[in-house]
Structure 1
Amino acid sequence: MSDEDPAVAPERRILATGCLFVERKFLRCAGKVGHVEDVVVDAAARGRGLGLRVVRRLVEIAKEAGCYKVILDCTPELRAYYAKCGFVEKGVQMAIYF
């Protein structure tokens, strides 16, 4: 990210960020899956398309890394948002918390 990037405020404060990690899958001949995690946008900067830019860039990076798919988990309230980013609902997430 450069100083000219809209995800960086003029005072050089990060306004939006996200994480992509790549997992090798045993069942897919060690194929790669990209996981989008922790996408956040500063409350004062929301509504400017920064989150969408972050997600799209993470998807591009996953594709460049050779991932055969990109997945994420989100709350029901964010389904429509991630649909705008190109994601479709698939499966059910289950978890055990400690």
Structure 2
Amino acid sequence: MSEQHNVHTLIPDSPFATFEVRVASAADAAALAPLLQQLDADEPAPDVALLALRLETPEPRRVVLVAEREGRLLGTCTLNLIEHLAHGFARSAVLEDMVVDSRARGQGIGQALIGRAAQRAREWGCYKLALSSHLDREAAHRFYTAMGFAAHGVSLALPLH
């Protein structure tokens, strides 16, 4: 790899460049794994083969979205459908694994991903789109608030291992 190429990969994409938001496929697994690792650098990278297998056989209650420009994945999120038994089977959606490549932030990629996720949630007949975010991710919280998300209840987790 030439030195010039290394310099080029460190330069952020132009904010005026276009990108596509689409459903992820098995072919995206190798590029998706390091992107997902940006969510928590202390976690091992996802297994590419397992990721490809899961993306190859999509589930009707889950959709993985990716933002792509010229073959490069810029961001991703996963949308999960939930039916609430106690509320007449009302539907909601939960947004998970939301990440925009650190070199591509501030270009509207996160907004586009959330916009497409909200559209899909509406198509599913959902009454709300929810997410949880780690307490120390203050910049992410400002972003989500600017996108129209509001605090709703308390998110609690029980570690199972």
What TM-score comes out, normalization by structure 2 length? 0.55
Which one of 17, 22, 39 corresponds to residue 81 of structure 2? 22
2:158 partner SS: coil
How far residue 58 of structure 1 moved from its aligned partner, in angstroms, is 0.3
Structure 2 residues not aligned, in runs of 5+: 1-17, 22-66
Give the corresponding residue for 1:9.
69
Structure 1 residues not aligned, in runs of 5+: none
Specify whether residues 49 and 4 from structure 1 end up closer, same or farther in structure 2 by C-alpha distance, changes over 3 A only.
closer
Which one of 69, 73, 86 corresponds to residue 148 of structure 2? 86
Equivalent positions of 1:39-58 (< 5 A) are 39-58=98-117
List structure 1 runs of 4+ shifted beyond 3 angstroms. Answer: none
Identity %: 32
1:60 partner SS: helix
Flag the structure with larger Rg. 2
**Structure 2 CA distance, aligned partners of 1:22 and 1:82?**
20
**Structure 2 CA distance, aligned partners of 1:56 and 1:49?**
10
Higher helix share: 2
Give the corresponding residue for 1:31.
90
Which one of 126, 146, 149 corresponds to residue 67 of structure 1? 126
**Structure 2 CA distance, aligned partners of 1:4 and 1:79?**
24
**Structure 1 CA distance, aligned partners of 2:144 and 2:130?**
11
**Structure 2 CA distance, aligned partners of 1:4 and 1:53?**
9
Q: Which moved more, 1:72-81 or 1:58-67?
A: 72-81
How far residue 75 of structure 1 moved from its aligned partner, in angstroms, is 2.5
Higher RCO (CA < 8 A, seq sep 6+): 1
**Structure 2 CA distance, aligned partners of 1:5 and 1:94?**
34
